[in-house]
Each structure stands twice: as C-alpha cells, then as structure tokens.
Structure 1
C-alpha cells in the first residue's frame, strides 16, 4: 500500500536524509548566468519527494489512501551561486512533527565540493484529499514520522533555522 523503497534504516539513523545527486538543467540558468531562484525550489521539492517516499506519503499514498501533503510555508535563503554543471545534493532534517504538520530544514550543497548554496525551511501540512482539508496522518504514517523525528532530535540544529525576512537592525 505504501511506497517505501528501502527498509526503516533511513528512518532510524541519527543523520539527515540525503537526496540523490541532482544535476542543474540548462533551461534553469537565468540571464545572470546562475541557477534561477525558482529552480532551487524545484530541487528542494524533488528531494523532499524522496524523503516522503521513505515515509510512505508520496504519490502512491495519494492514490491508495487519498492523502497528501501541501507546503504551508517556506523560507529559502540563497547563500552561494550554483551554475550549470554543478552537481547538487540536499540534506533534510525533520525538526518537528505533530499529527498534521512536518517542520523540515533542507540544505542544498555542491555534491562534490560540499559548500552550502541554499537552505529551505518548510512547514508542510497533511491533507485529506477527498475533503481537501487538513487532517491527521494515519497512525502507521505517524509512527514512521515519529521514528524519523526521534532519530533527528539528537542532531545539532544548523544555523539559519527560524530566521525571518527583515531589514538589518541599525
């Protein structure tokens, strides 16, 4: 019924989830010669889809159980340019969860050199797609989420969590 592609080892490890290595697509490069801001979100979304598959809440979950997730809030920080040809990988930390919400922090890094390019902090909500309203995760999914949240709770919190958009104070 769920689409978990590997064992629970990914959920039990006290380490951020690592996405597959992704490549920048030529059409994503803007007139400034670097990755356009919109495509950072595309890559963050692709990475979160990989984690959701491990949790059993990806496309198969939507089809079989009429549940899905929507992003309710997102804060992206662009820290260093990414260019065509740069391989990237995203780490995801589950900061918190309750019966309806997931709070994640993602870091997009150059896959071979390791430097940080961007971060994305997100609040995701669970949706009953038949009613198109927020709803609690099913118990089996909540258990999987709790396992991951517990593993991630022991990890140090990266710089940048909880930041807000504001002019610098004088």
Structure 2
C-alpha cells in the first residue's frame, strides 16, 4: 500500500539549498570550476528542493517513480574557485500533470553574487515502464502549494532565453544604441 503525503504548510520562496563547497578536483586548467560541476551543484539542489514535495529517493523506492530532467538552459555569470561555498536557490515556475518547470541560481554563500543560473524542464517518469506519467494527487497538491508560494517571486529575467549569435543588423542596432564603436 502506498502512503500519500500531506502538502506542507508552506515553502520558502525561493527554496534555498543547504551549503555546498566547490571541491578542488572540480577545478579545470583555467583555474575555475569546470562547467560540468555547476550541473552537479544544480542537480543536488534540485533533488533537495523537490524532495520537499515528496520526489526524493524514498519516492523512487516506495512508488517506483521519479523525475528526469529533459531540458536545461545554463547561463554562467561568474567564476567559482576551489573551496568557494555556495547555496542554490530554486523557484518552481510552473508544473502540469507530468512536468515541472524550474529556475535555479547558484549564489556565493558569503557575498551573495550569482555564479550561474539554470532553467529546467523535468518529466515525471514511471520507473517500471520508463514512460512519462502523471503525478499522484498528493505530489500534485504539494507542487501546487510550492507554486503558490513561488508565484509571489518576480519572473526571472533569464527565463526562456534563446541562445544564438545576433543577426548582423540586430548587432549593429545594439552597438549603435549603446554608443559602442565597431
């Protein structure tokens, strides 16, 4: 028999992860944290944050379901170096019966500056069939509570960014507007 979980009374907005430290082995030949390890920090925080709605390791073991990240968009803003301590904020942007849209920021723990941002789209997966499936009612209720708490937050500027090189005419207009000579 599967136990349903009650929706928490509240969620912090945004969720703030426990403190994490950049490990010396994560530093690349440029002297800063390699981009792969930004994703390690984001992944740990996502697990921690979504664990609050009931999507942690116990959920996989008890209900034979989990969530998979299907799409991401990372923006690296500032270098992290060995032994920097960080926290990751998580904002639940939206969800539906099978998907979670979230936004995260890695912030330097002491000084508060943003090192990187990550927008993700995650899918709820039945681990027996390995197919996308609807969230159980109790998890959906928990997501609704979290979304309501996070709805008060401003929409992140980096949300929905498109990557690409601007067309020459767009670049020329941007440079002209900024007064930059080219």
Task: Determine the structure 2 residue equivalent to 1:8.
Answer: 8
Deviation at 1:8, TM superposition (A): 2.1
Task: Determine the structure 2 residue equivalent to 1:130.
Answer: 128
Moved over 4 A (4+): none
Deviation at 1:156, TM superposition (A): 0.8
Distance in 1 of aligned mates of 2:125 and 2:73: 21
The Cα offsets for residues 48-96 of structure 1, whole Å up to 9 and x where unpaired, read as 0101211111111001001100001000000010111211110000000
> Which of 19, 26, 31 lines up with 1:21 in the alignment?
19
Distance in 1 of aligned mates of 2:53 and 2:121: 16
51-60 or 35-44: which moved more?
A: 51-60
**The structure with more radius of gyration:** 2
Question: Any conservation in 2 of the 1:48–1:92 contact (CA below 8 Å)?
Answer: yes
Structure 1: tracts of 5 or more residues without a match: none
Question: Any conservation in 1 of the 2:16–2:90 contact (CA below 8 Å)?
Answer: yes
Question: Any conservation in 2 of the 1:75–1:122 contact (CA below 8 Å)?
Answer: yes
Deviation at 1:151, TM superposition (A): 1.1
What count of residue pairs does the alignment treat as equivalent?
165
State the TM-score, normalized to the length of structure 1.
Answer: 0.93
Q: Provide the alpha-carbon RMSD of the alignment.
A: 1.5
State the TM-score, normalized to the length of structure 2.
Answer: 0.87
